[in-house]
Amino acid sequence: MKFIHTSDWHLGRQLHGESLLEQQRLALAQIGALAVEHQVDALIIAGDIYDRAIPPASAVTLLSEFLDELIEKHKIQVLITSGNHDSAERLGFAAKQMRSSGLHMVGSLSLPLTPIKLHGKQSDAWFYPISYAEPAVVRHALADDTINSHELAMKALLEQVTQHDSENLPKVVVAHCFLDGSTESESERPLSVGGADRIAPALFAPFDYVALGHLHGPQYRGVEHVRYSGSPLKYSFSEATQKKSVTLVELSTGKAPTIKLLPINTGRDVRIIEGNLADLLVRAKDDPHADDYLMVRLSDTHALLDPMGKLRSAYPNVLHLERTGLMAQQQQRDIGRDRIKKGELEMFSDFFEQVAGEPLSAAQQQHLHHLLDELHQGEDA
């Protein structure tokens, strides 16, 4: 059984107001090509296929076309579980009518859990998909009042399949949860506040592979085969240094799984650049990836006229600007009245110079100084 494990596609997501649909289309095309190239038997998507309960119609169409390509054209099975961003009910629509085609959509939690046997060219394997569910939902479904945490909910669900007779075939859990000790990114919506969403990795020990979703950085906890694939795209600047990939997994009875990360690269990266405005504008000329999605940290300590406009003329996809230089300066400053006045004078001088192309004359400076004094006297009155 050879499959690609991925998760957190968040189709329909925006990055700082910018649609990522075309990047997602490119990422899906790469994942499809990798699936075909490596002749996998299945693609496993561990939740958050969409970014929200009601995704835009364009995201629905994108996924539908991808499934047509993979399933109808290349005969690769697809298993999708719902994550905390998805609407489990909507994702599960007509799931039974899709099964015979090789598409397994696992929507709302339905108990007892139904193991799915996927056919492989070399050997088959059993999959135990567990849709994301709040502890309260599991508590109600199992009529067990002691289930008051994500860990107890997962433990109860796993007990349903641990004893399943897999006919000596490999056993794979697919789940969407937060393993204790894992590394978060800013783009994940917390499952619960105050750490109540943490699950001990040891719960998953009895399985041959555990395909997890929720965290956007690829990682494993405890043992190498209990792992997050991470998202195929960077969905926040906190992921700027992550290397995005999907996980190629090969399972054979009685052997440790073979695991390999296959990089995903859509050509437009999400990066953070730092420097002063003038230097950055010069550097843009030699930057072959000036159209990446950028957060810019400007070190300039004086006022700047329309820095975003100037940056975007060189880097068209600047999405966020931080004035780190000004912030640092501000932190050092006393906040006395005189300092504030001086601040205003300096700021206006900088502004004037940028607009007029020459500094304030001595007379102009004198005039401005009087004006500011008058204004502040007015405040005191």
List of residues contacting a second copy (CB under 8 A)? 53-54, 57-58, 60-61, 63-64, 67-68, 71-72, 87, 89-90, 92-103, 105, 108
Report DSSP state, residue 101.
G
- Give the helix/strand (H/E) hosting 278: helix 277-284
Residues facing 126 on adjacent strands: 117, 171
Distance of closest approach, residue 30 Cβ to a second copy, in angstroms: 21
Nearer to a second copy, 71 or 303 (CB): 71
What does each C-alpha distance from 181 to 173, 296, 322 come to in angstroms? Answer: 19, 31, 30
Give 31 or 105: the residue with its C-beta nearer to a second copy: 105
Compute the distance between CA of residue 361 and CA of residue 354 in angstroms, rounded to an integer: 14
Instruction: Output the six-digit token pair for 153.
Output: 């909910």
Cβ proximity to a second copy, 39 vs 110, nearer residue:
110
Find the shortest distance in angstroms from Cβ 311 to a second copy.
36
- Tell me the closest approach of the beta carbon of residue 20 to a second copy, in angstroms: 19
Provide the minimum distance between the beta carbon of 92 and a second copy in the complex, in angstroms, as a whole number.
7
Peptide bond into 112 cis (omega under 30): yes
- How far CA 255 is from CA of 33, 302, 358, in Å, comes to 27, 63, 75
> In the structure encoding, which two tokens stand for residue 224, read together?
């190498």
Report in angstroms how near the CB of residue 76 gets to a second copy at its nearest: 12
Instruction: Give the nearer residue to a second copy in terms of CB position, either 39 or 101.
Output: 101
Output 111 or 328, the one with its CB closest to a second copy: 111
In terms of CB distance, is 100 or 163 closer to a second copy? 100
Q: Supply the minimum distance, in Å, between the C-beta of residue 166 and a second copy.
A: 25
Which residue, chain included where needed, has tokens 């059993």?
A: 126
Q: Residue 66, CB half-sphere, CA atoms under 13 Å: how many?
A: 24
β-partners of residue 318 are: 294
Using the minimum distance from each CB to a second copy, give the nearer residue, 87 or 236.
87
Q: Please, what is the minimum distance in Å from the beta carbon of residue 84 to a second copy? A: 15
CA distance 9 to 230: 9
Kindly give, in sequence order, each residue whose CB lies less than 8 Å from that of residue 177, ignoring residues fewer than 6 positions away: 132, 150, 154, 191, 197, 199, 212, 214
Q: Is 203 helix (H, G, I), strand (E, B) or coil?
A: helix
Q: Rounded to an integer, what distance in angstroms lies between the CA atom of residue 24 and that of residue 22?
A: 5
Tokens linked to 125: 């394997």
Compute how many other C-beta atoms are within 10 angstroms of the C-beta atom of residue 153.
25
Q: How far is the CB of 70 from a second copy (least distance, A)?
A: 10
Shortest Å, Cβ 290 to a second copy: 35
Measured from the CB atom, is 36 or 326 closer to a second copy? Answer: 36
Sign of the torsion angle spanned by Cα atoms 280, 284, 285, 286: positive
Read off the tokens for 247: 């996980």
Task: Choose between 127 and 315: whose C-beta lies nearer to a second copy.
Answer: 127
